[in-house]
Amino acid sequence: MDVDSRAEVAYADDEPSAFASMLGGLIEANVRSHPEKERDFESLKARVGIWVTDIDEGVTLEFARGKLIVHNGLKPRRTLTIRADADTVMSLSNLKIGLLGLPVYYDEVGRGVALKLLSGKLKIDGLLPNVMTLNTVTRIFSVQ
Amino acid sequence: MAVKAFSNEWAKAFKAEVNNSSTYKAAGKGWKWTVGLVVEAEPDKHFPDAKGIVMDLFDGEARDIKVGPASDAQKCDFVITAPYTRWKEVATSQLDATKGMLQGKLKLKGDLPTIVRYTKASQEMTLCTTRIPVEWPDEK
């Protein structure tokens, strides 16, 4: 389904990295095809860093209420920073969204993500004061 | 016995590996799109012409895998493109395909949410390629 979306995704760098293009493209496709994700996208104001530990690459996602600017690398003043290996980043995109719009952590994918968080293989800086922001980002990010 | 890289024999062995994989059968449930792999030429590695691998995958099964011109693979719903050396790295477990895509070493064309939803299936397909004994043209 392709909704009449006003969602706008732009890239801060003249040459976005492959990871930046992939994340930006993923979020744009998600938001354009799911009205509930678009509502989240319209409301979210946050700077979210994602660092992929096993390829030493990252992005900063600057959400500005209906607009997203994707930066290569980690930029200052981030609300949240997610650090994990490539497989875990892909798992985050595969988290199911359950009741009340909360990510599901009790199925196979969810348990895997929770275990990586507990074992320190997935680190989220700024998590405690920004749990709601993380949930919103997860909903926008999820392909399930 | 080793088969020539990206030959018809290789495609046959690849199809058999995919269909022998219970992991792929489960992870690929619901998949209904064609996938094309474009192997770009590297004459200095004795791989003079680009080749295309067209995979007809459906609901956890490889119905057909064929090797032909790159243009055939480029018509598929999902297309992954890389030079010969990169594909060799994938097939010899030196490059993880997921990381390769995030790094732009393997270029992906197609609906991103769909391919991300089937990450486990694509990882298992990559593992299937690593199980095939291959005769590489640059190792002769």
Confidence of residue A4 (pLDDT cuts 50, 70, 90): low
Which of A 73-92 lie inside 8 A of B, CB atoms?
86-87, 89-91
Using DSSP's 3-state secondary structure scheme, residue B60 falls into: coil
Nearest CB among A18, A86, A89 relative to B104 is that of A18
User: pTM to 2 decimals?
Assistant: 0.89
Residue A2 pLDDT > 70, yes or no?
no
pLDDT at A5 (0 to 100):
61
In a domain, B118, yes or no: yes
- Residue B104 with chain A: CB contacts under 8 Å: 17-19, 21
Beta carbons within 8 Å of B113's beta carbon, 6+ residues apart: A26, A29, A30, A33, A143
Number of residues that this document lists for chain B = 140
Mean pLDDT lowest for which of A46-55, A96-105, B125-134? A96-105
pLDDT at A144 (0 to 100):
83
Residue B140 pLDDT > 80, yes or no?
no
Distance CA B56, CA B66 (A): 9
- The residue ranges of DSSP E strands in B1-140, in sequence order, are 3-4, 34-40, 51-58, 61-68, 78-83, 107-109, 134-135
Asked if A55 and B117 come within 8 Å (Cβ–Cβ), the reply is no
Q: How many CA atoms within 13 Å lie on the side-chain side of A53?
A: 13
Phi, psi of B47 (to 5 degrees): -125, 80
Residue B58 pLDDT > 80, yes or no?
yes
In a domain, B90, yes or no: yes
CATH number of the domain enclosing B77: 3.30.1050.10
In a domain, B136, yes or no: no
Count of domains observed in chain B: 1
Do B62 and B18 meet the contact criterion of CB atoms below 8 Å apart?
yes
Residue A68 pLDDT > 60, yes or no?
yes
Distance CA B24, CA B58 (A): 11
Residue A1 pLDDT > 50, yes or no?
no
pLDDT tens-digit series, residues A27-53: 999 999 999 999 999 999 999 999 999
Do A74 and A104 meet the contact criterion of CB atoms below 8 Å apart?
no
Asked if B116 and A55 come within 8 Å (Cβ–Cβ), the reply is no
φ/ψ bin of A48: left (φ > 0), alpha (ψ from -120 to 50), beta (otherwise): beta
- Residue A19 with chain B: CB contacts under 8 Å: 102-104
Q: How many other CB atoms are found less than 10 A from the CB of residue A111?
A: 12
Q: How many other CB atoms are found less than 10 A from the CB of residue B72?
A: 17
In a domain, B135, yes or no: no
Distance CA B86, CA B129 (A): 13
In a domain, B10, yes or no: yes
Which structural domain, as residue segments, surrounds residue B28? 3-129
pLDDT tens-digit series, residues B99-111: 999 999 999 999 9
Highest CATH level, class, for A8-141: alpha beta
Q: What is the mean pLDDT of residues A94-121?
A: 91
In a domain, B115, yes or no: yes
In a domain, B33, yes or no: yes
**CB contact A10 to B (< 8 Å):** no
In a domain, B74, yes or no: yes
